[in-house]
RNA sequence: GCGGGCGUGGCGGAACUGGCAGACGCGCUGGACUUAGGAUCCAGUGGGAGCAUUCCCUUGGAGGUUCAAAUCCUCUCGCCCGCACCA
């Protein structure tokens, strides 16, 4: 008998799939489409286990759904722009484009070696001019719609990466990519107005019923919607100035005892100019601005404030309260000015205690001792009734929020307002290896978009590799110097490139028509294939890529170019791959690579283990012994098929047709049912695989129970064929080979997914558990669907049960048909 | 601090709407076949008591609801993740 030779089999079928173009997808309106997509990788050099996991998950679905006769699109491409290419370029003295191309070449081979069923005709590379041309086109589209703008502001700067970062890309004050500290710099940069879409990005989360709750929650928190009032305070001695402040607690307005401005607030300087406070305040402002965001906003950071010497006027009671400048007030949130209500806000309370500012209680808790500013130990932030609040006294604070806002609106002193935490998306990057921003700066005409016909603005490919980093585009005069598209005079190109998250914000659309040369994508193709039905990737993109892609989709929806309002119908956030309780890393020496697994056991074994070890959304603990177990299982399947093929020649003398055969068929149909449900409805590939294992065990049991000469070859053949089909999404090569050995026609992956016959699952007799007071005390075998009275009768007549029930009074009997009888006795 | 998730054998993990806890795999034990096996096949395997038919205990812990709880409720402990002066 031929032994299971994974490398040989896998190579054979991979070659055939390629030759026969097996996984090519075409739009076909007569068929139901299904778009399976795994987050495309950054071509860092080699695949790791995380990649292998995400591709294995996607491929099971793609292969399964094809067999269910869906028109499946399953594409793959490369998120090819990005910093590591530049760093590698300097290190290895190789052009970033070349380094990237080399990596793609290698990683693609690895993917093919895993047997993933991609349609390679749709392969895209975001660093190719054919692709970034359309990234530029989309930028201009945004520009024309007023969604792209240039602004001078304080931005996050990562010194190590030598570029700015978007807010989403700063994690706990550190750069998301290199984990070094992020500082603040004032620069003129390009932004996308994602805040215009904040409300829709938030509300439409509700539609995303196929997304994990935690991802939606993270987006919700990130968007950070809060309702409140914007209230205007006049400034004493400055009749033309006013301070607008945002609060979620307008009901506490009568408790304001001071006002704090952010150091960056434009009013700070005019307020102190030519006063004895000028030096002190401006000094403090300068110091604070030098601090990094993390130092300034961490919870441990002390709250520091300086009095400006000026007073603001409370619009509801005319009180004059001191205006301070404070480090804890952020210019970027709300209006950059905070009304201080120490009695009812934790931060204000702490601040007031430190600087000895008055604390005035305006909300009294119900059913509690009355609070006084002098004695309270902490702020009262909960509900209560209003006091010291003029005509509002006695009002419940929740009511008060509405009533005060209404009053302010009537008086023209303020209004209802919604504020978001999310900021506009900073997309400029001061780096070479990215999509050039298609803008021309003309001294006369200002910044202008590059005319569509001049796209793409090509990235120069000859770069200097002599320094310690690849120089930015400003370094190349040939690139920079150009003519103004409006006046024809000398002008300079924008030299920043775009954040790579732009590239990945629309790639799923490009896959629907990767060669389209008149638009980023063909509207008909996108109309057919979009949205992505199942998206699979890491949770780390919860508020990065997944938010940006939703934003782009909504903008394109608004233009009418696509019909989908959301890009990803269902999302699966796959867990991480660990080994020995830690993330795989070189420093810990616990790395297992896909290459070595494929080499030792074959891709089928690796895939099977990854899918079997844990449900996809949970973290997975790598186990070498577990891999061996999966390999053993595949060999077991192999032997079944190979043995059968040999035995069939011998032929059965008298094929049996009895209980063993019925049991075998029952096992088959039970497995079909479980595997189908587990793949399609529950995404529990681990239990789907265990169901196939049980089926294989049942086949072995059959072979054990029946003599070789009595094998029922007809039934055995059917069971084996279907076993191989069930295994096809998980171990695609072995399934092909097994199918061929069994004499199947065509590819196993073109077979119809088997259906189960509920009749085959029916049994004449079932075992029913008998409980007394909820404890299992016996079992009886009764006919299926035995009527309740007979069931109870049978239960009570059992030897032991009768004994146990002696001198007991039966209070109640509960039955669950075909499952159990519970006798409640005293 | 706020928000979310998770605690089940020696290990990875099953258990659908409350209904036999521990499927499947790993590991371990015994047996068969073998010159040999780290190949393969068969059997056993949560803990404890007992010769035994059997009994008791067991899903992080403590209560509760229920005929019946891993599953529902309350409290509590531990771990993980996200946000974190957001006014």
Residue A776, CA: closest nucleotide via C1'?
A: B20
The band of A652, judged by pLDDT with boundaries at 50, 70 and 90, is: low
Give bridge partners of residue A38 from the DSSP assignment.
A536
For chain A, which residues make up each domain, given as ranges?
226-419, 623-760, 763-825
Cα distance between residue A804 and residue A768, in whole Å: 18
Q: State which residues between 759 and 788 of chain A bring their CB within 7 Å of strand B.
A: 767, 769, 771, 773-777, 779
Cα dihedral sign for A366, A368, A374, A375?
negative
Q: How many CB atoms lie within 10 A of CB A33?
A: 18
Q: Looking at A736-790, which runs of residues are DSSP E strands?
A: 765-772, 775-783
Cα distance between residue A270 and residue A276, in whole Å: 13
Alpha-carbon separation of residue A589 from A49, A51, A580, A748 (angstroms): 14, 19, 10, 40
The residues near A607 (Cβ < 8 Å, ≥ 6 apart) are A52, A56, A59, A114, A115, A730, A731
pLDDT in the model for residue A682: 85
What's the pLDDT tens digit per position in A26-77?
999 999 999 999 999 999 999 999 999 999 999 999 999 999 999 999 999 9
Among A103-112, A154-163, A301-310, A695-704, name the one with the lowest average pLDDT: A154-163
Cα dihedral sign for A731, A734, A735, A736?
positive
| Strand B contacted by A636 CB (< 7 A) | yes
A152 touches A186 (CB < 8 A): yes
Cα distance between residue A749 and residue A737, in whole Å: 11
Interface confidence, given as ipTM, is 0.94
Residue A421, CA: closest nucleotide via C1'?
A: B86
Tokens of A101: 């191309």
pLDDT in the model for residue A97: 95
A370/B20 CA-to-C1' distance in Å: 60
CATH node for A226-419 = 3.90.740.10
Please report, rounded to a whole number, the percentage of residues in chain A having pLDDT higher than 90.
69
Tokens of A84: 């590591």
CATH class belonging to A623-760: mainly alpha
The band of A298, judged by pLDDT with boundaries at 50, 70 and 90, is: low
Q: What is the CA A311 to chain-centroid distance, rounded?
A: 48
CATH node for A763-825 = 3.10.20.590
Which residue has its C-alpha nearest to nucleotide B54's C1'? A777
A611 touches A685 (CB < 8 A): yes
Which strand B nucleotides have any atom less than 7 A from protein CB atoms?
A: 3-5, 11-15, 19-21, 23-27, 39-43, 54-56, 67-69, 81-87
Cα distance between residue A699 and residue A425, in whole Å: 59
| Strand B contacted by A334 CB (< 7 A) | yes
Residue A1, pLDDT > 70, answer: no
pTM for the structure as a whole: 0.94
């Amino acid at each position: 008998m031929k032994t299971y030779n994974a490398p040989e089999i896998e190579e054979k079928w991979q070659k055939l799939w390629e030759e026969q173009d097996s996984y090519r997808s075409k739009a076909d309106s007569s068929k139901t489409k299904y778009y399976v997509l795994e987050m495309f990788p950054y071509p860092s050099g080699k695949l790791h286990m995380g990649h292998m996991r995400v591709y294995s998950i996607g491929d099971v679905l793609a292969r399964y759904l094809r067999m269910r006769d869906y028109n499946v699109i399953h594409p793959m491409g490369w998120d090819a722009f990005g910093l590591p290419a530049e760093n590698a370029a300097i290190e290895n003295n190789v052009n970033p484009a070349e380094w990237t191309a080399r990596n793609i070449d290698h990683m693609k081979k690895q993917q093919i070696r895993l047997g993933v069923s991609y349609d390679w005709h749709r392969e895209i590379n975001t660093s190719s001019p054919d692709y970034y041309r359309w990234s530029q086109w989309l930028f201009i589209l945004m520009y024309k719609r007023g969604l792209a703008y240039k602004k001078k502001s304080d931005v996050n700067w990562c010194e190590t990466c030598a570029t700015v970062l978007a807010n989403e890309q700063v994690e706990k004050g550190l750069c998301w990519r290199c984990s070094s500290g992020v500082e603040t710099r004032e620069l003129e940069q390009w932004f996308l107005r994602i805040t215009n879409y904040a409300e829709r990005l938030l509300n439409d989360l509700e539609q995303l019923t196929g997304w994990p709750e935690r991802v939606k929650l993270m987006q919700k928190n990130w968007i950070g919607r809060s309702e409140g009032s914007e209230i205007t305070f006049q400034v004493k001695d400055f009749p033309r100035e006013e301070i607008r402040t945002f609060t979620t607690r307008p009901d506490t307005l009568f408790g304001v005892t001071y006002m704090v401005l952010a150091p960056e607030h434009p009013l700070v300087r005019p307020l102190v100019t030519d006063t004895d406070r000028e030096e002190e305040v401006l000094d403090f402002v300068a110091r604070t601005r030098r601090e990094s965001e993390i130092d300034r906003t961490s919870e441990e950071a002390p709250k520091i404030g300086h009095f400006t010497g000026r007073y603001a006027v409370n619009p509801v009671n005319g009180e004059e309260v001191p205006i301070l400048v404070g480090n804890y007030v952020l210019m970027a949130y709300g209006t950059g000015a905070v009304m201080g209500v120490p009695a009812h806000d934790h931060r204000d309370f702490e601040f007031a205690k430190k600087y000895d500012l008055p604390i005035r209680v305006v909300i009294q808790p119900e059913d509690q001792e009355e609070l006084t500013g002098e004695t309270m130990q902490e702020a009262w932030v909960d509900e209560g009734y209003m006091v010291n609040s003029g005509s509002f006294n006695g009002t419940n604070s929740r009511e008060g929020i509405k009533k005060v806002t209404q009053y302010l609106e009537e008086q023209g002193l303020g209004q209802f307002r919604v504020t978001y935490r999310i900021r506009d998306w900073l997309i400029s990057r001061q780096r070479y290896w990215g999509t050039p921003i298609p803008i021309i700066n003309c001294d006369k005409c200002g910044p202008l978009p590059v005319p569509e016909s001049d796209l793409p603005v090509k990235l120069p490919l000859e770069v200097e590799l002599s320094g310690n980093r690849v120089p930015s585009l400003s370094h190349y005069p040939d690139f920079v110097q150009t003519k103004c598209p409006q006046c024809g005079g000398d002008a300079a190109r924008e030299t920043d490139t775009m954040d790579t998250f732009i590239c990945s914000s629309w790639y799923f659309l490009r896959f629907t028509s990767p060669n389209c040369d008149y638009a980023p994508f063909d509207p008909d193709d996108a109309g057919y294939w979009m949205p992505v039905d199942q998206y699979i990737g890491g949770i780390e993109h919860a508020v990065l890529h997944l938010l940006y892609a939703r934003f782009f989709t909504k903008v394109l929806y608004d233009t009418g170019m696509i019909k989908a309002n959301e890009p990803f119908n269902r999302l699966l956030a796959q867990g991480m791959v660990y080994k020995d309780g830690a993330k795989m890393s070189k420093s810990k020496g616990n790395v297992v690579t896909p290459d070595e697994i494929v080499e030792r056991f074959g891709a089928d074994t690796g895939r099977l283990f990854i899918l079997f070890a844990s449900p996809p959304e949970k973290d997975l603990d790598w186990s070498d012994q577990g891999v061996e177990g999966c390999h053993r299982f595949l060999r077991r399947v192999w032997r079944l098929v190979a043995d059968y093929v040999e035995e069939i020649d011998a032929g059965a003398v008298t094929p049996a047709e009895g209980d063993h055969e019925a049991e075998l068929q029952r096992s088959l149909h039970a497995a079909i049912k479980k595997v189908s449900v587990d793949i399609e409805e529950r995404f529990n590939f681990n239990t789907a695989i265990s169901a196939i294992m049980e089926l294989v065990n049942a086949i072995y049991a059959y072979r054990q129970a029946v003599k070789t000469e009595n094998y029922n070859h007809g039934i055995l053949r059917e069971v084996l064929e279907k076993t191989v089909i069930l295994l096809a999404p998980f171990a695609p090569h072995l399934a092909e080979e097994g199918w061929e050995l069994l004499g199947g026609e065509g590819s196993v992956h073109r077979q119809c997914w088997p259906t189960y016959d509920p009749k085959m699952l029916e049994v004449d007799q079932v075992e029913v558990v008998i409980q007394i007071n909820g404890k299992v005390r016996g079992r009886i075998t009764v006919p299926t669907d035995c009527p309740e009275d007979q069931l109870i009768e049978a239960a009570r007549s059992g030897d032991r049960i009768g004994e146990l029930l002696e001198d007991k009074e039966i209070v109640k009997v509960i039955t669950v048909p075909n499952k159990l009888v519970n006798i409640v006795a005293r």
